[in-house]
Amino acid sequence: MKDTPGVWHNQAIPYRAEFSLNGDLSELERLTAVVAQFCTGCALDDAAEFELNLVLEELFVNSLRHGGCEGMRDCAQVRMRCAANGVEVEYRDRGRPFDPTSAPNVNIHAPLAERSDGGMGIHLVRGIMRELRYEREGEWNRVTMLRPVATNRKG
């Protein structure tokens, strides 16, 4: 799906969303809108929406800034599925090989003067998501992960 991201639901089919992103920071606005629509459909609360948005922004911006995806059409693909134990997320990009599961840890106790500018986004992804897995599939990086939601459903 390219220009009209899909989110659908009936009682037999769990909520899903699948969409592509072009290599431009302005795509964050569309990313935010699709995540919001998906979370409404899954009856997820604000915290889940916030964190899914955050995780996908961090991975996407990483693809643009460090993966060489800037300016590339359909450089990233996102799939989300609402499952019994949480939201299953798959993020793929056509950037340079990058494994977020093995990126160096950030020292969050470092004083202000010693704070590094890099690595915080991946630190947040790893802090929020569970079951992170990475593989390189041809020209694609593929990350799969779970955002547990057992305690975050509305109502």
Name the site residues for another protein (rule: CB under 8 A): 25-26, 28-29, 32, 46-47, 50-51, 53-54, 57-58, 61, 108-113, 115, 117, 120-121, 123-124, 127-128
CB of 42 to another protein, least distance (A): 17
Amino acid in the structure at residue 17:
A
Paired tokens of 97: 């090989």
CB of 10 to another protein, least distance (A): 30
Q: Which of 43/61 has CB closer to another protein?
A: 61
Paired tokens of 134: 């990475």
Q: Which of 83/110 has CB closer to another protein?
A: 110
Give yes or no for a contact between 30 and 4, defined as CB atoms under 8 angstroms apart: no
CB of 144 to another protein, least distance (A): 21
CA of 98: how far to CAs of 35, 95, 134, in Å?
A: 24, 8, 9
Q: Which of 84/112 has CB closer to another protein?
A: 112
**Residue 89 CB neighbour total at 10 angstroms:** 22
Buried b (16+ CB within 10 A) or exposed e, 21-31: bbbeeebbeeb
Q: Which of 94/123 has CB closer to another protein?
A: 123
